[in-house]
Chain A
Amino acid sequence: MPASFIPTPAEYLRVAPEIILAVAGTLVMVLEPLTPARRKRWLGYLAQAGLWVALAAAVAAQHAPGAAFSGLVFVDGFATFFRVLVIAAGILVALCSYGYLRREEADRGEYYALLLYSVAGQCLMAASAELVLMFIGLEISSIASYVLAGYLRGDKRANEAALKYFLLGSFATAFLLYGIAMLYGATGSTMLEAIGGALMKKEAGLLVSAAAAFMLVGLGFKVSVAPFQVWAPDVYQGAPAPVAAFLSAGPKAAAFAIFLRVWLVAFRPVSHRWEAVLWASALATMVIGNFAALTQSNVKRLLGYSSIAHAGYVLVAVTAHSEAGTAAVMFYLAAYVFMNVGAFAVVGYIARKGERYLEVDDLAGLGARQPVTAALMTIFLLSLIGVPLTGGFFGKFYVFRAALDAGLVWLTVLGLLASAVAAYYYLRILVVMYMREPAEAAEPLPPQGAALRLALWTCAAGTLLLGIFPSVILGFVNQAAGMR
């Protein structure tokens, strides 16, 4: 037990991002009823500013690494990386949302407040070193996400998506909580470090195995790996496009962060027993995600299945159970945030008002009508396929390198073959964009807002930067992967 319960200034700095995000979110909520309708977009800009300040705080906190609040929070490179990642995802999604919400005539403050809360929860998840705090972070993030998924109240699909997400999500959370309770019963602690120590000392019994199984179920749901992936396509299809982009980036990255922390710190002594389970799950996820995506005609649903497949690749790196694997997870998720948010942003833009144009065929002739947008989309799709000189390729490269290093030869070969299958459905989008003429009656595309354009260019630049000069984050990632 630490000597004093009164936090020092350094400890406040270590949770500054969460504080800033929560305050900004609350401020947006409070100002919402006071803002006249035509000024609502200022709330969006306020949220944007809040995210940037939080980003700065997350970077600043890295200069004072260590524990805070009796060891509940632990700021290290790993935490900083994921905080920066989820905040960056929040920034990109906010940029895509301005034009989208105005178009859907739903430009209200709650959206941004929920976004900020969700990001705050994810930051907390990334930095927590204790199971209950981790759980609280997860809940803050999840509940905000449930509401965001159903944000367009008039939209039936969005409501269905939100309800499905909520029901299955809460179910998964219950599993996780149950697992936490069992683990507490077995080891007498909720601190990850202490649990790891306790499991090291004594023979792990049935209770620990049950706890691990329950927590795996809960975490598996959150990162959407097989056999707990069924919710993902429905939710991604139904949720508003920027929210779908967000769900595939922020919550997923944060969930993988706690997955790694729990698995590599708390369960380290016993996790090798579960390798076969993760192995099978990773393979099933890649196969199901990629093969199911082959037959999809709705772009959002297709990207939903593709995000399952990508979760499978990340799980391969988790299965490797090594520092190289952790680094690979981090790099992959960073690349994934850029390419997937970018792809969803383009889809949300093409969909036009009310998201009426979501079929793959609706992208026909984009290459001729909007060459720049099509070129940016091409970069995202090539990155999702994993063509060299894009972040997606390097991500896959590190993932499978870690897997081979850990002796997972067959998982690597099968995973790579599955990723070759994936090329087919991404190519279909490229084919339609460049090789088909637009339909006669196609509604003209609305003008692109400056914010959306900024988001798209940033995503493309990030994708290419991580592909051509991966060293920019690689050094940090490799260092941070050591955790504690």
Chain B
Amino acid sequence: MNLLDAVLFLPLIGFLLLLFVPRDREEAIRRTALVISLATFVLSLGLPLGFRRAEAGFQFLTNLPWIASPPIRYQVGVDGLSLWLVLLATLLTPVGVLVSWRHIDKRVKEFFAFFLLMEFGLVGVFVALDLFLFYAFWEVSLVPMYFLIGVWGHERRVYAAVKFFIYTMAGSVLMLAGIIYLYNLTGTFDYRVILEQIASGKLALGRTEERLLFLGFFAAFAIKVPLFPLHTWLPDAHVEAPTAGSVMLASVMLKMGCYGLVRFCLPMFPGAARECAGWIVALAIVGIIYGALVAMMQPNMKKLVAYTSVSHLGFVVLGIFSFTQLGMDGAIYQMLSHGISTGALFILVGYLYERRHSLEIRDYGGVATPAPNLAVLFMITGLASMGLPMLNNFVGEYLVLQGAAQVNFRWAVLAAVGVILSACYMLWLYQRVFFGETPEEVRSKVGDVRVRELAAMLPLIVLMVWMGTATQTFLPPISATSAAILEKTRVNQEFHVQARPSTLPSHERQRVVQEMPRAR
């Protein structure tokens, strides 16, 4: 039992506790949820403090037997990748509780109980080091989100909830098949043992075998990311979900997919991952541009923000499959940045909705007059989201573009179009909502942010600036981990030594560039 186990199980305890609070004591339920989630966050702050930052391996390990045969173990730990994702989840849960304080007024008990259960699932996904345990958490986090969308969502909530569940389920059963297949080959679910077997050559997958396994895992993760063209569930789920649901979905749940790609797809099936990288990068770039273009045309604010996610997560996938140190660092940084800034955007859109009860952009205008502070918060968040230097998204996007450019300059050019477009849709949105004529409806209904609302937003604003300026707080552990993962993807790759790379045809040149020692 160490700190990480406490962080993992405290939300579950909170969930069980809430089940026993009488349902009419709504204020007590809200307070319990807030206290538990805050306590979890405070505990989780101990993780980066006690983390040995230069090491790439897993820390805070716990390894206990769970099921004897097949040997499934409760094995958890964090490295530089999962450390920050855990913190993201534990930070956004109390934020989500605060945001839902008044917004959720029916079935309060179930809502907050599911919210804590979801935190348990999400943290579990990021820390599980046993493939079976990982799958269990993966699915467990799905159920509360399904209810959050389906019960507390907007008009088309049932359609969105079922679509969300079925899409994710269809992907994850393929991953399950992959996990079982791997188990039958290796006799273990232990992630680290499997990696060792691959490294030592004990587990040698055939070419087709590896490709199919890769695709099985990739399907589950790509749907969750979501990678174009598997993204269609995302706008529906986001638009229909309650604010806190959207926040958790965008900020943390989508990261499950990205995390899975980095944690499992790359190191376990490096050959297949490199083989398919070209196709995946192409889809990622299409997603970046397509997501941005569609976002620009959206009349609905929430849908707009949802499509920006498709665009931003394209960067993450591009970074991962560039197989460069910079690209990978940037991708992981972008995961965190996107979690903060898009979560904040959803919260602000939620605040607007709570006041004006509309998500349509045309129902707003001149909001800056009655709600100046809200306008400032939105401005900072919007600028962060479009990647303004000194704010968080810039770091991730820049690193990804740099990494992509090392491999293929055209990728970087195309992806950079997405950055330009992001400025277009975000500024245009801001202009239409916050400036111009103030309709009577807006003037009478839209008040400025309250203290509780500000309390939910402030930590995110602080983090945007912090992550944009003091990158060294976060980057060293990330780099150590991504370097280790990149190292593993080189296992069975043949080496080409070329004296004069410039005379090679372009695809050969790419490969040589990939082989260059990483810049320090």
Q: Within residues 433 to 484 of chain A, which ones have a CB less than 8 A from any CB in chain B? A: 434-435, 469-471, 474-475, 478
Taking beta carbons and an 8 Å cutoff, which residues of A are in contact with B? 367-368, 371, 382, 385, 387-389, 393, 397, 400-401, 404-405, 409, 412-413, 416-417, 419-420, 423-424, 427-428, 430-431, 434-435, 469-471, 474-475, 478
A388 & B161 in contact (Cβ 8 Å cutoff):
no
Does B512 interact with chain A (Cβ within 8 Å)? no
A474 & B140 in contact (Cβ 8 Å cutoff):
no
State which of B176-184, B293-301, B451-459 sits at the interface with chain A. Answer: B176-184
Does B151 interact with chain A (Cβ within 8 Å)? yes
Does B143 interact with chain A (Cβ within 8 Å)? yes
| Chain A residues whose C-beta falls within 8 Å of the C-beta of B435 in the assembled complex | none
| Chain B residues whose C-beta falls within 8 Å of the C-beta of A401 in the assembled complex | 70, 180, 183-184
Which single residue of chain B is at the shortest CB-CB distance from A431? B158
Beta-carbon contacts of B94-129 to A below 8 Å, as 1s and 0s? 000000000000010010000000000000000000
| Chain A residues whose C-beta falls within 8 Å of the C-beta of B158 in the assembled complex | 431, 435
Report the separation of the CA atoms of residues A388 and B170 in the bound assembly, to the nearest whole angstrom: 15
A419 & B140 in contact (Cβ 8 Å cutoff):
no
- A388-B135, A412-B177, A474-B69 provided; 11 other pairs, C-beta below 8 A? A387-B142, A388-B140, A404-B177, A416-B174, A416-B176, A419-B173, A427-B162, A427-B166, A471-B69, A474-B68, A475-B69
A125 to chain B, nearest CB (A): 28
| In the complex with contacts A413-B174, A417-B170, A474-B69, A397-B140 CB distance below 8 A | no
A470 & B177 in contact (Cβ 8 Å cutoff):
no
B150 & A434 in contact (Cβ 8 Å cutoff):
yes
Beta-carbon contacts of B19-36 to A below 8 Å, as 1s and 0s? 000010000000000000
A44 to chain B, nearest CB (A): 33
| In the complex with contacts A387-B140, A434-B151, A397-B69 CB distance below 8 A | no
Partner of B184, one of A382, A404, A430, A478: A404
A–B pairs, 12, beta carbons within 8 Å: A388-B135, A393-B136, A397-B176, A401-B70, A404-B184, A405-B184, A420-B169, A420-B173, A430-B150, A435-B150, A435-B158, A474-B68
| In the complex with contacts A389-B140, A404-B181, A431-B161, A420-B69 CB distance below 8 A | no
A469 to chain B, nearest CB (A): 8
Does B264 interact with chain A (Cβ within 8 Å)? no
A470 to chain B, nearest CB (A): 6
Does B255 interact with chain A (Cβ within 8 Å)? no
A420 & B180 in contact (Cβ 8 Å cutoff):
no
| Chain A residues whose C-beta falls within 8 Å of the C-beta of B157 in the assembled complex | 435
Report the separation of the CA atoms of residues A469 and B184 in the bound assembly, to the nearest whole angstrom: 21
| Chain A residues whose C-beta falls within 8 Å of the C-beta of B162 in the assembled complex | 424, 427-428, 431
Report the separation of the CA atoms of residues A397 and B178 in the bound assembly, to the nearest whole angstrom: 12
B67 & A474 in contact (Cβ 8 Å cutoff):
yes
Beta-carbon contacts of B123-150 to A below 8 Å, as 1s and 0s? 0000000000001110110110011001
Partner of A420, one of B70, B136, B170: B170
Report the separation of the CA atoms of residues A328 and B142 in the bound assembly, to the nearest whole angstrom: 26
Does B466 interact with chain A (Cβ within 8 Å)? no
| In the complex with contacts A413-B177, A420-B169, A434-B147 CB distance below 8 A | yes
| Chain B residues whose C-beta falls within 8 Å of the C-beta of A430 in the assembled complex | 150
Report the separation of the CA atoms of residues A397 and B181 in the bound assembly, to the nearest whole angstrom: 11
| Chain B residues whose C-beta falls within 8 Å of the C-beta of A434 in the assembled complex | 147, 150-151
| Chain A residues whose C-beta falls within 8 Å of the C-beta of B60 in the assembled complex | none
Report the separation of the CA atoms of residues A319 and B146 in the bound assembly, to the nearest whole angstrom: 34
